Amino acid sequence: MIYIGKYVNTHGIKGEIRIKSDFKYKDKIFFVGNTLIIDNQEFIINSYRRHKEYDMITLKGITNINQIIDLKGSKVFVFNISLDDGEYLDSTLIGFKVYMNNIYKGDVLDIKYLNNSKKILVVNNKYVPFELVNVNLDKKRIDVMEVDGLL
């Protein structure tokens, strides 16, 4: 399953919910008929719209706030996502080898978002700004621009 966000609140009394999500490919998951997993339960999207920083959805069969409010605070997942060539999920990069000047520096352990900027955490526990990296999906390799003291 792929994590896409969190069900943070309801909206109105008819069962519409607010999802807080930083997921990069929202157009590939938030569409009518797609299946979401909330608290290990499958739900089909009945409607979708954006409102401020939230993804607002209604779910097939949910017509009242009382049918969905107990799941508030739950993480939201999808089973699968179809990506175009060159597109990838951040989680794909975990485990990639990191090099600077063709010298191995470690593996990607995690992807973190700090100060609204994507960062990569490498094996030596240092953060590398994503703007300084070149990703090679085929070789599962990340090359970092040389910056003194970075790695």
Q: In the predicted model, is pLDDT for residue 16 greater than 70?
A: yes
The residue out of 78, 108, 130 marking a domain boundary is 78
| pLDDT of res. 112 | 82
Residues 112 and 50 in one domain: no
Q: Which of 83, 82, 44, 72 is nearest to 60 (CA)?
A: 44
Q: In the predicted model, is pLDDT for residue 148 greater than 90?
A: no
Distance CA 17, CA 68 (A): 8
State the chain's maximal CA–CA distance in angstroms.
58
| pLDDT of res. 35 | 97
Residues 12 and 65 in one domain: yes
| pLDDT of res. 116 | 65
Each residue's pLDDT tens digit, 93-123: 999 999 999 999 999 988 887 766 677 777 6
Instruction: Tell me the CATH number at 7.
Output: 2.40.30.60
- 7 in Cβ contact with 17 (< 8 Å): yes
Which residue range(s) make up the domain with 13? 2-78
| pLDDT of res. 140 | 95
- 15 found inside a domain: yes
Distance CA 8, CA 148 (A): 42
- 16 in Cβ contact with 87 (< 8 Å): no
Residues 56 and 102 in one domain: no
Q: In the predicted model, is pLDDT for residue 87 greater than 90?
A: no
- 68 found inside a domain: yes
| pLDDT of res. 126 | 85
Each residue's pLDDT tens digit, 17-44: 999 998 889 999 999 999 999 999 999 9
Instruction: Tell me the CATH number at 125.
Output: 2.30.30.240
Q: What is the rounded average pLDDT of the residues 87-93?
A: 88
Give the predicted TM-score (pTM) of the model: 0.76
SS3 91: helix
Q: In the predicted model, is pLDDT for residue 124 greater than 80?
A: no
